[in-house]
Amino acid sequence: MAKNVAQSATLASLDQKLALAKRCSHEGVVAGAKAAIVATIATAIPTLASVRMLPWAKANLNHTAQALIISTAAGAAYFIVADKTVLATARKNSFKHAP
């Protein structure tokens, strides 16, 4: 009987930790997506404007290069912000539940 109570308490604790981890990762994904959208806009405007106005950029940056510049900035912003958000949320939750 005592073993079943201990197992159910352990399973409840694991379920709570799993739910907390899912919430942390979801917050990271949402924050990363927002940052990627902002980075895409912030990178696309100057990239496309420079291709239209600067002779060097017009001659050397084809559509593939422009897309690569914009997507690299968006991808980097996504992963950096998502990682920082997940770590910050996990750190906050670990201090909140510390004995």
> What is the extent of the structural domain holding 37?
29-94
Q: Assign 99 a pLDDT band (cuts: 50, 70, 90).
A: low
Q: Is residue 7 a part of any domain in this protein?
A: no
Q: Is residue 56 a part of any domain in this protein?
A: yes
pTM, two decimals, is 0.78
Q: Is residue 22 a part of any domain in this protein?
A: no
Long-range contacts of 64-70 (CB under 8 A, 24+ apart): 69/43, 70/40, 70/43, 70/44
Q: Model confidence over 5-21: pLDDT tens digits?
A: 555 557 777 788 888 88
Round the average pLDDT of the chain to a whole number and report it: 87
CB 39 within 8 A of CB 74: yes
Spatial separation of the C-alpha atoms in residues 90 and 9, rounded to whole Å: 22
Q: Is residue 10 a part of any domain in this protein?
A: no
Q: Model confidence over 60-83: pLDDT tens digits?
A: 999 999 999 999 999 999 999 999
Across the range 27-56, mean pLDDT stands at 96
Q: Is residue 53 a part of any domain in this protein?
A: yes
pLDDT score for 42: 97
Q: Is residue 83 a part of any domain in this protein?
A: yes
Q: Domain total for the chain? A: 1
Q: Is residue 18 a part of any domain in this protein?
A: no
